[in-house]
Amino acid sequence: MEKKKKFEEKLKELEKIVEELEKGDIDLDSSIEKYTKAMKLVKECDTELKKVEEQISKIVLENNETKDFSIEETE
């Protein structure tokens, strides 16, 4: 149902990398590699959070079909 990695997974991965970096028992080369990866994830997560324009809201019908749903319509 989803192609891209879930946001929470990304954040967890980021946390893991940062913790590994902080442990300090890795050499400089791997540190730089991990840092690059961390910065990529930071940027991705940040962009993902900031770019979101419209919150996706659907209503699910009995036959599992989904339609856009917004509370304004119902008021």
Q: Which residues contribute to the site for another protein (CB under 8 A)?
A: 1-2, 6-8, 11, 14-15, 17-18, 21-22, 24, 28, 31-32, 34-35, 38-39, 42, 45-46, 48-50, 52, 54-60, 62, 64, 66, 69-71, 74-75
What is the torsion angle, in degrees rounded to the nearest 10, for the CA atoms of residue 33, residue 37, residue 39 and residue 41? -170
Closest CA to 47 of 18, 15, 10, 1: 10
> Closest distance between another protein and the C-beta of residue 51, in Å?
9
Give yes or no for a contact between 10 and 40, defined as CB atoms under 8 angstroms apart: no
> Closest distance between another protein and the C-beta of residue 35, in Å?
4
